[in-house]
Amino acid sequence: MLVLIAAYAEAQQLKLGKNPTTIEKSALLDLNSDKQGLLLPRIADYTVAPLSTAPDGMLIYYVPDKLLYIRKNGTWKKLVDETNAISSVNGQTGPVVSLTTSDISESVNLYYTDARARAAFSAGTGINLSGAGVISALNTSNLWNAAQLQGRNIATTAPADQNVLTWDAASNSWIPKATGSNGSVTSVALSLPSSVFSVSGSPVTSTGTLSASFTSQAANTVFAAPNGSAGTPSFRSLVAADIPSGSNNYIQNISTGTQTASFSITGNGLIGSKLGVGLSTTPANTLEVGGTTAASGLSGLRLTGLGAATLQTPLTNTLAVNANGDVVVTSNAAANNWLITGNSNVNASTQFLGTTNDVKMVIKSNNTSFLEFGRRATLGLVQNYPEYTNADESVTFVRSALQFDVPSTVQFYKPKFWTTSDGNFRLKGPAAGTDFFELGASGTNNNGGFEFIIGDDGDEPILFKSYYYVDSSYTEMMRMQSKKVGINMAGVTPAQTLDVRGTMRLTGSTGTPDNILGRNSGSGDIATLGFDATTLGITSGSIKANNTSAVWNANQLQSVAVASTAPTSGQVLTYNGTNWAPAASSLPTVSASRLLGRYATTSGAAQEISLNTSLKLTTGGVLYADSTLAIWNASKLQGTRVSATAPTSGQYLVYDGTAWVPTTVSSGGSNGNGAKWSTNGNSGTSPGSDFLGTTDSKALVVKTNNTEAMRVDASGRVGVNTAAPSSTFHLTGSFAANITSYDNPTAAVTVNLNETHYMIARMSSVNGGTYNVTANLPAASSCPGRVYVFSNTIFDSGYGKVYVVPATGEFIGSLGKNTTMNVDERQSAALQSTGTYWVVIYKGSNQGY
């Protein structure tokens, strides 16, 4: 198991503008441009959610004040407008100024909270202090005693009853003044330019309301005097001359020079073509921001507060910067790269971690390679040794030890693979929690070996077992434990250095033995036997009696006692009915090629018996019959009696259970060989009566080299390589069937299936052989039960299909609708004929096989 870790560092910063390869590491967003600026969001009300609870550090442009605000300590704070900033305090312009106050009423308090001189204010009656620190007059209070209206003075003259405030240009102030004298009005009318206003309710003769409204005007016009001269104003199109020049705050359309005055813009609007911020030349893009610091990589664009913003789910597209500093939309790298925080919804067929060309894939830690993938040649691992010469072999190259995780119950010896400093490859792991096993190469300097180690307490066994799938059982074959080797021990510790629980055979041994092994019938232990070297010896590996020793003095022959009588010269041992005793020889002299016996019908002395021409006597004294002579008239064959009944023409000797008897055997057919089947073939047979088999309840067995190969039992079941078939056909072992394979076909293929076909295989690899294969099935009625198998194997980027087509009028499946079956890429299928149509045994994916 391999754990792959992907690093995706580029997603940590965003650089927009010029010099995209130079990144300021301390900036999350780095904007670098000398022609473009940053447009912040326009906020008309920061007291509404979610801005009312925004986190500290957020930056906005507040439209009513036309200033930047920052969120600090849970409130929105105004950033100072430098154009109206305080340049001095009481004439003090230094970095430190002194503030003093005169008597302050109790309604307004001014104080300092700490040594850093932070001012804190509280509002008294009639004064409002907003959360953003803005002090304003509370004009809803009735305590106000205004001395001005909109910046114009109000005269201190006390007003009289019914006076009204009237503007007096002479005194440049508002003064109390009585209204005009009372009179009578019979009618009041209102007249306004009809091109601009529409008047209603005119005239008023008693009571009523005069009202005026603007008339509809053409789009994109302004109310102004005539273009280029004085005159009555009207609605007309705006011209360049309508925008004045000057040095105050304004926006001016100029072709040369640089406008240095500051300005503020509120509301919505459009810019005709291109806008440059911080530039001295014409912008090249719709928005171009200058102010890039080349040495640090900082651009003139900054999005303040984004560092504290909550990260959102990556979108499909993202912004990037090209070599010119232009901001372009590209595919989000997160959609094509592996993230270090994990990936979801991965398409395993198209998305992977690795390379798409012949370059090795490397996984590192601490800038050191731990794992590499690639072709053997790409990894530089081709060597002129067996199994190391295939340059295209796919190789996983591990440059470190490989350790595996284990349950918490394992206290020691975590499992791992590693290579020692001597180049020995080894494996070590836990056993039963606290023990360990280890195996691998050993040795140095061309003196290698291979070790098996199990231990901790010293008595742990090394076991060799076999597994039987039928009953899922394990059988111990051999164990090595406590410096002993046991065979067939069934879990028992060996009692001796070599403990064999069963039979033992030793063949092919060399050398000359010089000792004898024996077995203890009680314990079964094998040990060297002691023997009397005076009477026994081992010569050339054979045990022999030392018959030259004087200790040999037999007193029995075949358990019959030998008399203790001392023999004399010429005597022979003769059995006297009780024991063997020395006696004079009674055998007469016999002529050459004669036998000594007695042919008389009465008992008496021995007689010489001569041999006729059918009997011979070898020089070794062996009597034998000369079977080459025609004079023989045997009464037995291999010890079984031959009947004396005279045979007739065509009869066979047939054993009747007692003797060989001449018997006439019926032909039982017309095969020209009687009842025999010729090994050279038979003709004229009748299938109804001529057959190879049995006529009773016996099995028919076929053997080769005297070993059973096939059996037809009494119930008609056929077994191959089994003497006990359990089904109509029972095969023990493998079988082979014909495969028709089309590998990388260069043209469309059509094959008409018949009884010579079984499996139709198509293979395509690397865009090669993309043509289809069409397999036409025979009529289902012509081959009931027949099975066909189809496979469409695809490697790499190959493709193509296998089409299976039934005979005209037939179909695949029981619904009678499928006239063609598609075996798509990486699929297999199997069909069987019902005699009427074809049924699908299997159809599915073979991907990965």
- Name the residue with tokens 């003196």: 447
What is the DSSP code string of 493-529?
A: PPSSSEEESS-----S--S---S-EEE-TTT--EEEP
**Among 194, 239, 201, residue whose Cα is nearest residue 221:** 239
pLDDT in tens, 480-512: 998 999 999 999 999 999 999 888 888 887 877
Mean pLDDT over residues 51-64, rounded?
Answer: 86
Local structure of 10: helix, strand or coil: helix
Task: Show contacts of 8-15: CB within 8 Å, 24+ apart.
Answer: 8/333, 8/334, 8/337, 8/338, 8/339, 8/340, 10/333, 11/333, 11/334, 11/337, 11/339, 14/319, 15/297, 15/299, 15/321
842's enclosing H/E stretch is strand 838-845
If one compares 93 and 409, the residue with the highest pLDDT of the two is 409
Q: What is the DSSP letter of 797?
A: T
Out of 36-40, 116-120, 614-618, least confident range: 116-120
Residue 498: what residue type?
A: L
Out of 556-565, 704-713, 770-779, least confident range: 556-565
Q: How confident is the model at residue 251 (pLDDT cuts 50, 70, 90)?
A: low
Residue 484: what residue type?
A: K
* The residue count for the chain: 849
- For residue 723, with 0-12 CB atoms within 10 Å meaning exposed, 13-18 middle and 19 or more buried, which class applies? exposed
pLDDT in tens, 182-236: 556 678 888 888 888 888 887 888 788 888 888 888 888 888 888 888 888 888 8
The answer to whether the beta carbons of residues 653 and 661 sit under 8 Å apart is: yes
Tokens matching residue 373: 């993938």
Tokens matching residue 33: 């441009």
**Among 400, 399, 401, 355, residue whose Cα is nearest residue 381:** 399
**Among 763, 721, 720, residue whose Cα is nearest residue 739:** 763
| Residues 6 or more apart in contact with residue 535 via CB below 8 angstroms | 545, 546, 549, 551, 552
pLDDT in tens, 68-78: 888 898 888 88
Three-point CA angle 236, 241, 242, nearest 5°: 55
Q: How confident is the model at residue 16 (pLDDT cuts 50, 70, 90)?
A: confident
Give me the pLDDT at residue 1, please.
Answer: 34
Other beta carbons within 10 angstroms of residue 816's beta carbon come to: 10
Longest dimension (CA), the chain: 205
Local structure of 133: helix, strand or coil: coil
Give me the pLDDT at residue 342, please.
Answer: 85
Give me the pLDDT at residue 831, please.
Answer: 93
Residue 728: what residue type?
A: T
Give me the pLDDT at residue 741, please.
Answer: 92
Give me the pLDDT at residue 750, please.
Answer: 95
Evaluate if residue 117 carries a pLDDT over 50.
Answer: no
The whole-angstrom separation of Cα 492 and Cα 80 is 93
**Among 134, 140, 118, 138, residue whose Cα is nearest residue 47:** 134
pTM: 0.34
Torsional class of 186: left (φ above 0), alpha (ψ -120 to 50), beta (otherwise): alpha
Evaluate if residue 783 carries a pLDDT over 70.
Answer: yes
Q: What is the DSSP letter of 433?
A: T
Q: How confident is the model at residue 96 (pLDDT cuts 50, 70, 90)?
A: low
174's enclosing H/E stretch is strand 173-178
**Among 808, 803, 848, 796, residue whose Cα is nearest residue 829:** 803
Q: How confident is the model at residue 131 (pLDDT cuts 50, 70, 90)?
A: low
Q: What is the DSSP letter of 241?
A: G
Give me the pLDDT at residue 32, please.
Answer: 80
**Among 294, 297, 273, residue whose Cα is nearest residue 285:** 273
* Distance set, CA 525 to CA 461, 502, 507, 520, 522 (Å): 21, 12, 21, 5, 8
Give me the pLDDT at residue 425, please.
Answer: 93
Q: How confident is the model at residue 65 (pLDDT cuts 50, 70, 90)?
A: confident
Most confidently modeled of 378-382, 410-414, 810-814? 378-382
Give me the pLDDT at residue 93, please.
Answer: 66
If one compares 647 and 552, the residue with the highest pLDDT of the two is 647
Three-point CA angle 327, 333, 336, nearest 5°: 145
Name residue 821's beta-bridge partners.
804
**Among 372, 235, 327, residue whose Cα is nearest residue 38:** 327
Evaluate if residue 678 carries a pLDDT over 80.
Answer: no
Give me the pLDDT at residue 683, please.
Answer: 80
Evaluate if residue 113 carries a pLDDT over 60.
Answer: no
Torsional class of 535: left (φ above 0), alpha (ψ -120 to 50), beta (otherwise): alpha
- For residue 777, with 0-12 CB atoms within 10 Å meaning exposed, 13-18 middle and 19 or more buried, which class applies? buried
If one compares 746 and 535, the residue with the highest pLDDT of the two is 746
Give me the pLDDT at residue 132, please.
Answer: 61
Please, what is the average pLDDT of the chain? 81
- Torsion over CA: 46, 49, 54, 60 (sign): negative
**Among 651, 643, 653, 689, residue whose Cα is nearest residue 670:** 689
Beta pairing, strands 222-224 & 211-214: unpaired
Local structure of 690: helix, strand or coil: coil
Q: Where are the alpha helices (DSSP H) in 264-418?
A: 333-336
- Name the residue with tokens 């590693």: 418
**Among 475, 474, 469, 494, residue whose Cα is nearest residue 484:** 494
Task: Show contacts of 531-535: CB within 8 Å, 24+ apart.
Answer: none
* Distance set, CA 546 to CA 175, 532, 534, 558, 817 (Å): 166, 10, 7, 20, 96
If one compares 335 and 32, the residue with the highest pLDDT of the two is 32
Name residue 32's beta-bridge partners.
17
Give me the pLDDT at residue 86, please.
Answer: 61
Tokens matching residue 294: 């080349």
The answer to whether the beta carbons of residues 642 and 658 sit under 8 Å apart is: no
Q: Which residues of 504-540 are buried (b: 16+ CB within 10 A; e: fewer)?
A: eeeeeeeeeeeeeeeeeeeeeeeeeeeeeeeeeeeee
| CA-CA-CA-CA dihedral for 591, 597, 601, 603, to nearest 10 | 110
Beta pairing, strands 773-776 & 802-805: parallel
Give me the pLDDT at residue 651, please.
Answer: 81
Q: How confident is the model at residue 125 (pLDDT cuts 50, 70, 90)?
A: low
pLDDT in tens, 298-321: 887 888 887 788 888 778 888 888
Most confidently modeled of 530-534, 657-661, 709-713? 709-713
The whole-angstrom separation of Cα 573 and Cα 579 is 9
pLDDT in tens, 132-151: 666 777 666 666 677 788 77
Q: How confident is the model at residue 248 (pLDDT cuts 50, 70, 90)?
A: low
* Distance set, CA 323 to CA 17, 21, 25, 33, 387 (Å): 8, 9, 19, 12, 50
Residue 554: what residue type?
A: A
% of the chain beyond a pLDDT of 90: 20
Out of 369-383, 542-556, 711-725, least confident range: 542-556
| Residues 6 or more apart in contact with residue 377 via CB below 8 angstroms | 391, 392
The whole-angstrom separation of Cα 375 and Cα 360 is 8
pLDDT in tens, 723-782: 999 999 888 989 889 999 988 888 899 999 999 999 999 888 766 567 899 999 999 999
**Among 520, 517, 542, residue whose Cα is nearest residue 528:** 517
